Amino acid sequence: MQTITRKAYAKINLALDVVRRLENGYHEVRMIMQTVDLYDELTFQKTEGGISLTVDTTAVPADQSNLIYKAATLLLDSAGVTDGVSVHLQKNIPVAAGMAGGSTDAAATLLGLNELFGLHYTKEELKALGVKIGADVPYCIQGGTALAEGIGEILSPLPAPPAAHLLIAKPDIDVSTAFVYRNLHLEAVTKHPDIDGMIAALHAQDLKGITDRLGNVLETVTVPAYPVIAQIKEKMISHGAQGALMSGSGPTVFGIFEREEDAQGAAEEIRTQGLAGQVFVTVFGT
Ligand code: ATP
């Protein structure tokens, strides 16, 4: 087998809490991660040597700073592979959006090249390599629903939420993760998401218990700085969303709907009012 294709799924955070700032500048977090059915597609082809990358958009770099390049280098070096690979990325996940687009591409690269070169690394071994690239990469290798602790790399699988319709809207603004964490004043955050309550609601398969507990402490930074985030949330709620929240460090907002027509109606209005340039109606992934 010389060529393989892999899907790299995006994630949302049903809940995101920051516990404390660590000495090394990282943050200790507690997050409920959820795969969504929105994905990039990566095609890997064996070559005689070296790593080459093409991307179908100029929105992400196609050079050595791309996390795909870093993941391929790390895996091939660690396994002592002397053959090379050419990778093509079809980018569908919004970029710099809080949906782990880069991390999931890195995860798909580790999984894809493990298969293409018959390396037989276990998922746990790939996660240990992946965390060197980014804190979200181990979760992207695992996928599904999970509690992520530590810097995001300590994972406990959870039951998937009951089926629902998701609306994902990325406004046309760039929000850097570094800006958000730099401006997070933890001591001033009075409302932390009820993560343990959400875990119980997942076990009970109680969609309302989940949507009542959506929460992200990073909104305390982004919502005042970018009012469009609150406007999109309000639009989703007024169209019948059971809950709406910013994902990760933003600026993407997701809404959870029981009825697909309501999600479509909200999508239509968000598009026509120009609140977000990238809008998707989808479902939870596994
Ligand atoms: P997270 O949710 O993990 O914070 P994000 O969705 O906010 O991630 P990404 O889409 O991963 O952010 O992109 C952040 C930056 O990483 C981009 O501006 C881009 O320059 C760089 N990058 C490197 N490789 C990739 C990739 N394969 N896909 C997207 N961005 C990449």
Instruction: List ligand 1's pocket residues with C-beta within 6 A.
Output: 60-61, 65-68, 95-103, 105, 136, 177, 248-249
What proportion of the chain, given as a percentage, has pLDDT over 90? 94
Residue 137, SS3 per DSSP: helix
Smallest Cα–Cα separation from 258: which of 270, 240, 244, 245? 240
In the chain, beta strands by DSSP E? 3-21, 27-47, 51-55, 84-90, 145-149, 154-157, 165-170, 215-216, 243-246, 253-257, 278-283
Total residues found in the chain within this entry? 286
Tell me which residue has its CA closest to atom 24 in ligand 1.
66
How much is the average pLDDT of 196-203? Answer: 98
Tell me which residue has its CA closest to atom 8 in ligand 1.
100
Tell me which residue has its CA closest to atom 20 in ligand 1.
60
How much is the average pLDDT of 177-195? Answer: 93
Query: Binning pLDDT at 50, 70 and 90, where does residue 1 land?
Result: low
Tell me which residue has its CA closest to atom 29 in ligand 1.
102
Q: What is residue 24's predicted lDDT score, i.e. its pLDDT? A: 86
Instruction: Give 37-53 pLDDT, tens digit per residue.
Output: 999 999 999 999 999 99
The reported pTM is 0.96
Instruction: Give 247-276 pLDDT, tens digit per residue.
Output: 999 999 999 999 999 999 999 999 999 999
| pLDDT averaged over every residue in the chain | 96
Smallest Cα–Cα separation from 100: which of 142, 157, 48? 142
Tell me which residue has its CA closest to atom 11 in ligand 1.
102
Smallest Cα–Cα separation from 4: which of 142, 118, 93, 81? 118
CA of 207 to the centre of ligand 1 (A): 30
CA of 61 to the centre of ligand 1 (A): 10
Q: Of 40, 105, 136, 262, which is the active-site residue?
A: 136
Query: Binning pLDDT at 50, 70 and 90, where does residue 62 land?
Result: very high
CA of 248 to the centre of ligand 1 (A): 12
CB 246 within 8 A of CB 222: yes
The enclosing H or E element of 232 equals helix 227-238
CA of 264 to the centre of ligand 1 (A): 27
- Ligand 1 atom closest to 135 (CA): 3
- Ligand 1 atom closest to 66 (CA): 24
Residue 284 DSSP one-character state: B
Query: Binning pLDDT at 50, 70 and 90, where does residue 26 land?
Result: confident
> DSSP letter string over 172-225?
S----HHHHHHT--GGG------HHHHHHHHHHT-HHHHHTT-EETTHHHHHHH
Which of 87, 95, 139, when mutated, tests ligand 1's pocket best, judged by the most ligand atoms within 8 Å of its CB?
95
Tell me which residue has its CA closest to atom 13 in ligand 1.
96
CA of 4 to the centre of ligand 1 (A): 23
Known catalytic membership, residue 11: yes
How much is the average pLDDT of 203-214? Answer: 98
Q: What is residue 77's predicted lDDT score, i.e. its pLDDT? A: 96
CA distances to 71, 172, 272 from 264, in Å: 37, 20, 12
Known catalytic membership, residue 136: yes
Dihedral, CA of residue 262, residue 263, residue 265 and residue 270, to nearest 10: 140
Q: Cα(first)–Cα(last) distance of the chain, in Å?
A: 26
Instruction: Give 135-155 pLDDT, tens digit per residue.
Output: 999 999 999 999 999 999 999
- Is the pLDDT at 16 greater than 60? The verdict is yes
CA of 103 to the centre of ligand 1 (A): 7
